[in-house]
Amino acid sequence: MGSDKKGDSGKYYFLFFIGFVLIFLFYVWESAEVITLSYQINELKKQVILLENKNCHLKAKLYRYTNLANIDKVAREEKGMVSPEHENIIFINANSKQNRILANKANFTPREGTKGASKNSHYQFYPDSNLCSYRIGN
Amino acid sequence: MEIRLYYIQIVSHPRYKKIADKQFISVKQAEFKRGTIYDRNGKELAIEFEASSVYAIPPSISNPQEIAKRLAPLLDVSQKEIRKKLETSNSFVWLRRKINTEIAEKIKSMHIKGIRFISEGKRFYPENELASQVIGLAGLDNQGLSGIENSFDTILRGKTEKTIRRKDGFGREVVAAGAAYPLEVTGYGVVTTLDTVIQYIAEVELRKACDETKAKLALIIVQDSQTGEILALANLPSFNGNSSSPEKYKYLEIPAISNIFEPGSTFKPIVAAALLEENLVTMQDLFYCENGVYLFTGFPIRDHESDGWLTFVQVLEKSSNIGMAKAGQLLEKNKMYQYTRDFGFGNYTGIRLPGEMPGILKKPKDWSEISLSRLSFGQGIGVTASQLISAFSCLANGGVLMEPMIVKKIIDSRGEVVREFHSCPVRRVISCKTAQTLTDILCRTVENGTGKEAKIVGYKVAGKTGTAQKFDPATGTYSKTNYIALFVGYLPADRPRVTILVILDEPQGLYWGGSVAAPVFARVGLRIMHHLGVPPEL
């Protein structure tokens, strides 16, 4: 009986020891995993910043071409576009269904001899006001 | 050994912990990225991106002369200056801050010992000169120096916080479980009331006007007549925020809010509004204009035309100083002062820009016997452009003075609105009826009077010309050669959308407001009507 009790308590001690070791190993593994993941997170964050910077630099490059002064210059000097005269602007209500259909069907005449002038060279749309204006012909 | 262990672990614990913490823990201020400034339609006007700053560790530099020779052309700094920096005994010295990436890459590829790089935020203004004075400038350390960059500096910087960071033996950052470390804090975005297209129109026309008139300084303000929102504020000379030239620091002030000038005849409608509101005159009341010269208490008042009897409407149409001086006498000093204050003169307008001046308006007890008559045609008072345009917007919107607004809202990095600013009525100054009467008179001024050049085909314009003699501090009198030409008006007069003020300071040759400023108004006004899609009504 006495030796049985001794054997049982030894077994419990052994199981307790095994449990303790497992918990300890889990703790070590978890800490190592957290640290490894934190390295990965830091690397990814650095990459995000790098990509964001690259994006910003590309944006800055893009802005050099898309700023209003440049668009105006290209339109006038390279494409030969001109500001529409007041008399050539027709205001229509873009909200009206009939006018929308008309606008889609309208045949715009570019200024003759204008280098690079496209069909909608003289088209203006005013999203804020729901109004469109068209420069028609010359 | 046990005693030694006890000594190290228990007694010396705080000392060793301190040494270890110094090696493994660092307190770091989260890097802040300055918020973006937008126009009213979401177009970016100021953004931030990373740039490289080059620094040197002089003790590590072996051949300063040779290195200076290689770096000088790339850094755009003189060889002598670089060499001087490299030969100092300091352990750290900036060579050039915030250079562009390509140049930084070129220098990096040289693998020079002792030359290092650090990433810093750099401000970029996509539209270059556009609205440069209003947007302002951020300094080398990302602090706002002028304009919105300055007045909204704390908002654009965002909240920065210090965080404790743990490093491993290789100096790599280790994130403790559950800890959230902000690597970067982005400031809030500021959405302005500016419309980039209207601003561009104003600047192009202003440049054209400056070329034609050789004016020393010029400005155009475009304001929403109903809400007081500033749609454009163009000043010349201006600067390009992206330029590295120190010249730009000369023009940081915003003349529209900091320059004080005499409004001249553009002040007459303000006096007229007071007279009409107090029922002291009617449109048909007659005033004798003394055929061009009137001696009032020993001081001559002159008109540019010799007129006899004129109705009150004609006095404004023809911009008669004598007629207005006589009409102004009908007002009591205190009433005149009160109306002038109520229209916003002699006080800050509340525009959220740095450097605003309140103008000059003396109290009635300090007025001389000629003050009332002089004030009636815009002399003896100092106003700012923002005050003048706000007063005209008050006439345009039916008599309510609105606070000029430059910022619409503050947004966070995800675009969520953090704070919204609403147009703010300051006070009702005159009744709707008086405002309407004034609008009718101002329309006639453009149709038949001094403002004919401001006529716009298809649109009814209400406006007033002004030609102010500049005060010469050297002689203590009004200059006979230096003038300020002005035109201020609104359109379409029946349902005003925008109020526009044009000022040309010291134009050469022709100097009348009606000859030089009014045509600029007409050109800007027409293009704005097209841009806003306001159909012609005439």
Q: Give per-residue pLDDT as tens, B291-323.
A: 888 888 878 898 888 888 999 999 999 999 999
ipTM of this predicted complex? 0.75
Instruction: Give the pLDDT mean for B358-380.
Output: 92
Q: Give per-residue pLDDT as tens, B474-501.
A: 887 888 888 999 999 999 999 999 999 9
With respect to residue A74, please indicate whether it lies within any of the assigned structural domains: no
As beta bridge partners, residue B29 has B162
**B457 contact A CB<8A:** yes
- Model's pTM, two decimal places? 0.82
Identify the domain boundary among A21, A39, A66: A66
Residues A2 and A32 in one domain: yes
Residue by residue, what is the 3-state secondary structure of B213-280? HCCCEEEEEEEECCCCEEEEEEEECCCCCCCCCHHHHHHCCCHHHHCCECCHHHHHHHHHHHHHHCCC
- By residue range, what is the domain housing residue A21? 1-66
Q: Give per-residue pLDDT as tens, B277-287.
A: 999 999 999 99
- For chain A, how many structural domains are there in total? 2
Q: Give per-residue pLDDT as tens, A27-75.
A: 999 988 988 888 888 889 888 878 887 887 788 888 888 889 999 999 9
CATH number for B196-280+331-405+423-532: choose from 3.40.710.10, 3.40.50.80, 2.30.30.60, 3.40.50.970: 3.40.710.10
Query: Which secondary-structure segment (H or E) carries B73?
Result: helix B64-75
Q: Give per-residue pLDDT as tens, B12-22.
A: 888 888 888 88
Distances (CA, A) of B13 to A72, B10, B102, B265: 71, 5, 51, 83
Name which of B183, B530, B532 is nearest A89 (Cβ-Cβ).
B530
What are the domain boundaries of chain B? 196-280+331-405+423-532
Measured distance CA(B59)–CA(B88) in Å, rounded: 8
Interface of B with A in 58-117 (CB under 8 A): 101
Q: What are phi and psi of B275, to 5 degrees?
A: -65, -40
With respect to residue A78, please indicate whether it lies within any of the assigned structural domains: no
Identify the domain boundary among A19, A37, A66: A66
**What was the pLDDT predicted at B33?**
81
A–B interface: beta-carbon pairs under 8 A? 84
Q: Give per-residue pLDDT as tens, B419-469.
A: 999 988 999 999 999 999 999 999 999 999 999 999 999 999 999 999 998
Q: What's the mean per-residue pLDDT of chain A?
A: 72
Minimum distance, in Å, between the CA of residue A21 and any CA atom of chain B: 22
**A91 contact B CB<8A:** yes
Minimum distance, in Å, between the CA of residue B50 and any CA atom of chain A: 6
With an 8 Å Cβ cutoff, are A129 and B172 in contact? no
Residues A54 and A98 in one domain: no
**B42 contact A CB<8A:** no
**Nearest chain B residue (CA) to A133:** B533
Residues A61 and A112 in one domain: no
Single-letter code of the amino acid located at B343: F
Write down the residue that tokens 């000379």 correspond to: B237
Instruction: Give the pLDDT mean for B118-125.
Output: 86
Residues A60 and A101 in one domain: no
Residues A3 and A61 in one domain: yes
Residues A62 and A23 in one domain: yes
Q: Which residues of A touch B103 (CB under 8 A)?
A: none
With respect to residue A77, please indicate whether it lies within any of the assigned structural domains: no
Q: Bigger pLDDT: B473 or B215?
A: B215
Measured distance CA(B85)–CA(B68) in Å, rounded: 9
Residues A4 and A47 in one domain: yes
With respect to residue A7, please indicate whether it lies within any of the assigned structural domains: yes
Residue A119: strand, helix, or coil = coil
With respect to residue A108, please indicate whether it lies within any of the assigned structural domains: yes
Identify the domain boundary among A66, A100, A120: A66
Q: What's the mean per-residue pLDDT of chain B?
A: 90
With an 8 Å Cβ cutoff, are A35 and B531 in contact? no
With an 8 Å Cβ cutoff, are A63 and B126 in contact? yes
